[in-house]
């Protein structure tokens, strides 16, 4: 089946004229029709006439603007919104001859969540166990790639929203350095933390996709004007002498024992490949969760103020008073988690609390970044678990927001520091759920990440395993 192949395998077949984009699109469409009623990775199923058969297809998270294609952040408040323009990453993909799959991928509403349960379209199911979550907020992207319903996909990562679902679904997910990939056209959650990145079946596909979507963009004021290397050149498999740090703060009580054992085995594999592994300390990482949920909710509160039903999306009809219209529209348009984060963020930014919460959180964020800078002055990369546990059951944490927030404990520091990180599969639990290994590097050192990740991947078989749907 063509849909089971990686993007680089399919590109090679296309080049040799061993297949056509029409054949690939047909295989993909057939697979989606077969399994997506159970997985629910997509927010709606495309009709055959909608499929653009002009290039190798890629699937897109529902918060990245695509001209004329519904982009709703899986929220009722943006129901029916069709952007009049393409995000920069979409333009880059089209210019590279990549076709945009016409139905978007499911996600937590406005990327608020770690399980893809907070979607107005209902939850996505993990292909490895349909009773479990796929992670979030890019759960639809990870599940689609894992279930061979997508060749590759784009997601967004604000506090782990690419890497954590990649770990839960046994695929490769990369959060690029802040500023490496343009955010223009990404519907914002937290503007100082958001990054668009790839979810793929293997490391080579991730490098290929990063080659396409990376680079400076004048439309994004936070975009870095730094040359983009050919990331595939880092995929040579040699990591002899690579200095790898293992943060002691990431291996603590409460971590799932199976996860720890599997990650320890992965670290030993890196040693056997010639990496120099040593313990390191990131002392301020203990503050990452509270710092993140102050900064992220504050920025979310500010960003979501624009959604009032006045210009697009949902609008409560029959109300003459403008303020009442805003209240009713936002009250019905936002889900429970969105409301929770708006309220938390508004409180943190309010008079009398700004200095006590938001300003203090920004100062601690700097301390967290300084910890990474200190380690990276001596080490090439850091390895750690992606998540403290394998995928949990649907509904297991939805009534306990704090427990849900803690599922991102190993990923959020990366966004606060603005550094790149990848998650790749490194084992299965006894119950058959994937575990992810996370590799972190200094800003704009994605090549180092790809070098280490590819060497590990090629020495194991984990990336070749598929869920039995």
Per-residue pLDDT of the chain (469 residues; tens, 9 = 90+): 899 999 999 999 999 999 999 999 999 999 999 999 999 999 987 665 556 567 999 999 999 999 999 999 999 999 999 999 999 999 999 999 999 999 999 999 999 999 999 999 999 999 999 999 999 999 999 999 999 999 999 999 999 999 999 999 999 999 999 999 999 999 999 999 999 999 999 999 999 999 999 999 999 999 999 999 999 999 999 999 999 999 999 987 778 999 999 999 999 999 999 999 999 999 999 999 999 999 999 999 999 999 987 777 777 777 778 888 888 888 888 999 999 999 999 999 998 888 899 999 999 999 999 999 999 999 999 999 999 999 999 999 988 877 787 888 999 999 999 999 999 999 999 999 999 999 999 999 999 999 999 999 999 999 999 999 8
107/155 Cα distance (integer angstroms):
9
161 assigned to active site: yes
CATH code matching the domain that covers 2-285+365-464, chosen among 1.10.10.10, 3.90.1300.10, 3.50.50.60, 3.20.20.80 = 3.90.1300.10
Identify the helix (H) or strand (E) that includes residue 252: none
Tokens in use for 209? 């996709």
Q: Could you say which of 59, 75, 114, 137 is catalytic?
A: 137
Which 8-state DSSP code applies to residue 438? E
201 assigned to active site: no
316 assigned to active site: no
Residue 42 · residue 149 · CB < 8 Å: yes
Identify the helix (H) or strand (E) that includes residue 199: strand 195-200
The arrangement of strands across the sheet holding 153-157 comes to 98-100, 56-60, 153-157, 195-200, 172-175, 421-428, 434-441, 381-385, 243-247, 276-280
Which 8-state DSSP code applies to residue 358? I
DSSP readout, 123-136? ---BTTBTTB---S
176/422 Cα distance (integer angstroms):
8
Q: Burial-class residue 363 by CB neighbours within 10 Å (0-12, 13-18, 19+).
A: exposed
SS3 272: helix
Residue 402 · residue 114 · CB < 8 Å: no
Q: Could you say which of 61, 76, 175, 442 is catalytic?
A: 61
**Residues 345/351/356/362 CA torsion (nearest 10 deg):** 60
132/232 Cα distance (integer angstroms):
34
Tokens in use for 300? 């979310």
47/417 Cα distance (integer angstroms):
42
384/412 Cα distance (integer angstroms):
13
Q: Could you say which of 29, 141, 161, 182 is catalytic?
A: 161
């Amino acid at each position: 089946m063509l849909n089971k192949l990686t993007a680089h395998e399919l590109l090679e077949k296309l080049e040799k004229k061993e297949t056509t984009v029409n054949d690939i699109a047909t295989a993909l469409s057939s697979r989606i029709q077969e399994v997506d009623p159970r997985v629910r990775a997509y927010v709606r199923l495309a009709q055959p006439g909608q499929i653009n058969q002009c290039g190798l297809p890629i699937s897109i998270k529902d918060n990245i603007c695509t001209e004329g294609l519904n982009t709703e952040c899986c929220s009722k408040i943006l129901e029916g919104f069709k952007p009049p323009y393409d995000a920069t990453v979409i333009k880059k993909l089209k210019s590279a001859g990549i076709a945009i799959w016409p139905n978007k991928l499911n996600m937590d509403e406005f990327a608020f969540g770690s399980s893809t349960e907070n979607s107005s379209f209902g939850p996505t199911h993990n292909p490895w166990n349909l009773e479990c979550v796929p992670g979030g907020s890019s759960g639809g992207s990870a599940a689609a790639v894992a279930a061979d319903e997508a060749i590759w996909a784009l997601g967004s990562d604000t506090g782990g929203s690419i890497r954590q679902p990649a770990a839960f679904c046994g695929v490769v997910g990369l959060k690029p350095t802040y500023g490496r990939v343009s955010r223009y056209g990404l519907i914002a959650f937290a503007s100082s933390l958001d990054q668009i990145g790839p979810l793929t079946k293997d490391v080579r596909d991730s490098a290929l996709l990063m080659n396409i979507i990376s680079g400076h963009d004048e439309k994004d004021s936070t975009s870095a004007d730094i040359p983009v290397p050919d990331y595939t050149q880092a995929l040579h498999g040699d990591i002899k002498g690579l200095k790898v740090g293992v943060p002691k703060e990431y291996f603590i009580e409460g971590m799932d024992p199976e996860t720890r054992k599997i990650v320890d085995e992965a670290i030993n594999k890196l040693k056997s490949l010639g990496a120099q592994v040593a313990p390191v300390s990131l002392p301020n990482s203990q503050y990452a969760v509270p710092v993140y949920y102050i900064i992220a909710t504050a920025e979310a509160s500010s960003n979501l103020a624009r959604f009032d039903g006045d210009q697009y999306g949902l609008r409560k009809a029959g109300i003459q008073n403008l303020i009442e219209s805003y209240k009713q529209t936002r009250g019905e348009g936002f889900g429970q988690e969105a409301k929770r984060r708006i309220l938390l963020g508004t409180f943190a930014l309010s008079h009398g609390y700004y200095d006590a919460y938001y300003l203090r959180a920004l100062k601690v964020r700097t301390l967290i970044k300084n910890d990474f800078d200190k380690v990276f002055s001596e080490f090439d990369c850091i390895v750690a678990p992606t998540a403290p546990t394998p995928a949990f059951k649907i509904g297991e944490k939805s009534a306990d927001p704090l427990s849900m927030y803690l599922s991102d404990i190993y990923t959020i520091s990366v966004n606060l520091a603005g550094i790149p990180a990848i998650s790749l599969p490194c084992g299965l639990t006894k119950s058959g759920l994937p575990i992810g290994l996370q590799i972190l590097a200094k800003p704009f050192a994605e090549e180092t990440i790809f070098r280490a990740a590819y060497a590990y991947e090629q020495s194991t078989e984990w990336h070749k395993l598929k869920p039995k749907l």
